[in-house]
Structures are given as structure tokens and as C-alpha cells.
Amino acid sequence: MRKFEDLNHYEIFEIPVNASNFEIRQAYREALSIYGVDSAISYSFFTEEEREDILGRVEEAFSTLIDENRRGQYDKTLVDEKKIDPSALKKKRQKVPTPIFSFRGPDGKAISKTIKNGIKEEDLKKTVDEILLKDMISGNDLKMLRKAVGITIQDLFEGTRISVSSLEAIENDNLDALPSTVYLRNFLKTYAELFKVDPEKIIDRYIKNLDHIRGAS
């Protein structure tokens, strides 16, 4: 799990190097919703100095990637430093995606609402209580919550806007594939709140488990 300051512009936004301008703008808005002045999340987890530093990097990443000339020079630098595969830049950029919260299920309801209704209908108290008895919470514990209501990784992606790769890394305690700490904390908070579990306990105990895994390796 890499530190935020070590991430390149694409990694900050968690977008591919061939991302479209639409994807860049969307990722930028999402970053501001997490770290912006009005975000309760940023004030919960970061000092004012840390938040300003993160926002500064977010703004720099956006202003670079949204400008075609600056982006071209930046990509060249990343290739020269062997930080990205040049072949990835040659891939056709993805088509503009459908905004996630406009996705509809078979009943016509937004998928995020369908997920929440499904969670509401299930009695998760026993599963939640079992998980919160633990001093350390693993990705498998989170997976158990998801499976208790029959929600797939893809469903979770559509309902939370957390990428499938990040969700899989979280559920599998994959240290090498986990997002940076600032994103991980927010993703865990989103995951916990969706399943009506205390986010602070999930975050603290999940990270404690990661530290334990690192220490054992």
C-alpha cells in the first residue's frame, strides 16, 4: 500500500493512463467530494495541513491531465522514468461511461437503492456482532457481510463507485494492490456505512489487521 505522496496523477484519481477527459473530470469531482473544504471525511481523518497538501496534489493532477500539451509532456516523463508502460498510452481511450448512479436494475430502480433495500431486508445483526467482537477485521469479514445479502462485487461497485480492483484488494487483504491509505480509509468508510456498521471500528480494526499481516511477512 503506497503513500499518497508517492502516487502519480493517474493513481491519485485511480484512472487508467488512457482515461478520457470525462473520466478525469469525474474523478476530480469525486476527489473534491472526499477532500474538499465541505467534506466531513477529510476533517475526520486529516489535519488541516494534510488536507491542504492533498488538495494541492489533486489540483495539480487535474490541471495537468486536462491540458493536452501538459498531459503529453507528463506522460513522456512517466515513460522515461519507467513508471508506466508506453503501450498503455497507445490503447484506444475508453468510451464515455454511463454515470454510475443512473444504472437501473430489472425493476427500474437505481441499483444503489436496490442494494440498500436488500441490506435493509436482511437481518445482519448476528453477522455484524460477530465481526465487531474481533480485535482485528480482515477483508474476509467484509466479504462475509457482502455475501450475507447476496451482493456481488459488481453490485458493490455500482452502488459505491469503488473500483472492482480496489474492492477485491480490500476483501483479499492484498497489500500490493490496495489503494493509498487516504483512499483506503474512505473506501472502508463507504463499505461500512452501506452495511450499517460503525465505520470507525471497521477502519481501525482493518488497518490493524493489515499491520499484523505486514509484521508476519
Per-residue pLDDT tens over the stretch 4-23: 778 899 988 888 898 888 88
18 contacts 91 by C-beta, under 8 angstroms: yes
35-89 per-position pLDDT tens digit: 765 555 554 566 778 778 888 899 999 999 999 999 999 999 999 998 888 888 8
Instruction: Among 57, 90, 123, give the residue marking a domain's end.
Output: 90
Whole-model pTM: value is 0.56
**130 and 203 within one domain:** yes
Q: What is the mean pLDDT of the chain?
A: 79
The grid coordinates listed for 39 are: 467534506
DSSP 3-state assignment of 72?
Answer: helix
Q: Which amino acid is at 217?
A: S
Asked if the model's pLDDT at residue 109 lies above 60, the reply is: no
DSSP 3-state assignment of 131?
Answer: helix
**152 and 53 within one domain:** no
Number of other CB atoms surrounding residue 180 within 10 Å: 17
Range of the domain at 165: 101-216
**51 and 76 within one domain:** yes
Q: H or E segment at 21?
A: helix 21-35
Residue 160 pLDDT: 73
Asked if the model's pLDDT at residue 124 lies above 60, the reply is: yes
Asked if the model's pLDDT at residue 94 lies above 70, the reply is: no
Work out the average pLDDT over 18-33.
Answer: 84
Number of domains in the chain: 2
Asked if the model's pLDDT at residue 107 lies above 50, the reply is: no
Residue showing cell 487535474: 62
CA distances from 59 to 7, 81, 205, 213 (A): 14, 22, 32, 34
Residue 95 lies in a domain: no
**62 and 14 within one domain:** yes
- How far is the C-alpha of 79 from the C-alpha of 75, rounded, in Å? 6
**186 and 135 within one domain:** yes
**64 and 8 within one domain:** yes
**CATH at residue 71:** 1.10.287.110
**205 and 122 within one domain:** yes
